[in-house]
Structure 1
Amino acid sequence: MADLKRLQRMLGYQFQDEGLLVQALTHRSVGSKNNERMEFLGDAILGFEIAENLFQRHPHASEGELSRARAQLVKRETLASVARDLQLGEYLILGVGELRSGGQTRDSILSDAVEALIAAVYLDADIDSARALVRRVLKDRIASCSPREQLKDAKTRLQELLQAQGKALPVYEVVSVEGHAHEQRFMVKCVVDSLGITQSGEGSSRRKAEQQAARNVLIETGEHLS
């Protein structure tokens, strides 16, 4: 296993019970003593800390704006990005099958480990320490997140734009899927016959590729994007 002291320095927290840290890094593919229950607890702590932080930072934001901003900060992709900043993949304890399939780079496993780490700090110390960890590892993302700018996703915006103009909805079609199961790349085409526009999008999932394609359509229509 990689040097846990180094990881603790990156987290800004020294564990009293290092066993909790090890468990937080242990995937269910290893055995029964894994981080699944910790994920559940860490998710709740993360959600509350982010919600309160946004509530205090943005007193004029509406409930909907705050909800969208929170969703942006706690979503899988954001947490996986945090995990990569911490080089967490180097510390994960995975079963042989997950190791062979590249589990240490998978967004779902990385994001779950971040949540488990938050819970581990809570169990090792207290709620204030866990919340402080959330603020440390998400500091820059929290600071740059403006609820007023967390607009609806591109697919929703495109649909609403077309509906407002009484036009037919777009059609999404998967053009190609490349790569191995754990690192696939999807190419999707978005066709808007009513506007005479066809755009493509690429991403690590069909959903991401569709969002990119919709975004490219919006850009071609001249729709303002933040």
Structure 2
Amino acid sequence: MADLKRLQRKLGYDFRDESLLVQSLTHRSAGSRNNERLEFLGDAILGFEIAENLCRQHPNASEGELSRARAQLVKRETLANVARRLELGEHLILGTGELRSGGQTRDSILSDAVEAIIAAVFMDADIDSARALIRRILSREIARISPEGQPKDSKTRLQEYLQAQGKSLPVYQVVSVEGSAHEQMFVVECQVSDLGVTERGQGASRRKAEQQAAFNVLVKTGVSDS
């Protein structure tokens, strides 16, 4: 594992208990003392800090606009990019199988580590230190985000369209999950009974597959311009 002091300089935080930092970097494939619990806690802290930050910076934005902006800031891809900027991949502690399959570059593992580090700082110090860390490492993304400019995702657009038409809401069902644990491909079916439409979508996560299925329904019904 690379020098932790260098990582702490990038984070702008020096751990009193460095074992917390080590735990935050440890994937479940490497042992029982891993970052899963820290990731759970860090996710909640991150969501709260981003929500408050957006509310303060954008007092005129609607709840829907704030929700879409928050989703953009806390999503896996955004956090993985932050992790790459911090060069977290070279610090991760992974099991042999994950190392061989390139786990140190995988978005899911990188984003989980970012959330775990946030929680580790909270455990090592306090909530203010954790929130300050979030503002530092996501400063670029926070500065660029504009709630008013965030497009609605396909699931939201489909739901709003159906509600406006007085139609029943769509039902999403996982049809299949293929591939190994770290390279899964989800196939999801979106059924809108009132329209007599059923479309499928696929993606690396259930959420992405649902979004694709919803988009395909929008296209099929002529609601989407794409």
* Structure 1 residue 160: Cα displacement: 7.9
> In the TM superposition, what are the counterparts of 1:116-135 in structure 2 within 5 Å?
116-135=116-135
Q: Tell me the equivalent position of 2:101.
A: 101
* Structure 1 residue 204: Cα displacement: 7.0
User: Does 1:4 find its partner at 2:35?
Assistant: no
Distance 1:160 1:38, change over 3 A: closer
Instruction: Read off the aligned partner of 2:40 and give its amino acid letter.
Output: F
* Structure 1 residue 137: Cα displacement: 0.5
Instruction: Read off the aligned partner of 1:12 and give its amino acid letter.
Output: G
* Structure 1 residue 211: Cα displacement: 7.3
Q: Tell me the equivalent position of 2:60.
A: 60
> In the TM superposition, what are the counterparts of 1:28-43 in structure 2 within 5 Å?
28-43=28-43
- Distance (Å, rounded) in 2 between the aligned partners of 1:64 and 1:156: 10
Distance 1:61 1:99, change over 3 A: same
Runs of 4+ in 1 over 4 A off after TM superposition: 154-161, 180-185, 203-212
Distance 1:32 1:209, change over 3 A: closer
* Structure 1 residue 183: Cα displacement: 7.3
* Structure 1 residue 153: Cα displacement: 2.5
TM-score by length of 2: 0.74
Distance 1:181 1:32, change over 3 A: closer
Q: Tell me the equivalent position of 1:79.
A: 79
For residues 119-163 of structure 1, the C-alpha deviation after alignment (integer angstroms, 9 at most, x for no partner) is: 0000111100000000000001011111111111367659989xx
SS in 2 for 1:29: helix
User: Does 1:91 find its partner at 2:91?
Assistant: yes
**Can you give the 5+ residue segments of structure 2 that lack an aligned partner in the other structure?**
165-179, 186-202
User: Does 1:24 find its partner at 2:24?
Assistant: yes
Does structure 2 conserve the Cα–Cα contact (< 8 Å) formed by 1:38 and 1:116?
Answer: yes
Distance 1:107 1:64, change over 3 A: same
Instruction: Read off the aligned partner of 2:97 and give its amino acid letter.
Output: G
| RMSD, aligned CA | 3.9
* Structure 1 residue 88: Cα displacement: 0.5
Distance 1:224 1:7, change over 3 A: farther
- Distance (Å, rounded) in 2 between the aligned partners of 1:104 and 1:125: 27
Instruction: Read off the aligned partner of 1:90 and give its amino acid letter.
Output: E
For residues 146-181 of structure 1, the C-alpha deviation after alignment (integer angstroms, 9 at most, x for no partner) is: 1111111367659989xx9xxxxxxxxxxxxxxx99
Does structure 2 conserve the Cα–Cα contact (< 8 Å) formed by 1:38 and 1:119?
Answer: yes
TM-score by length of 1: 0.74
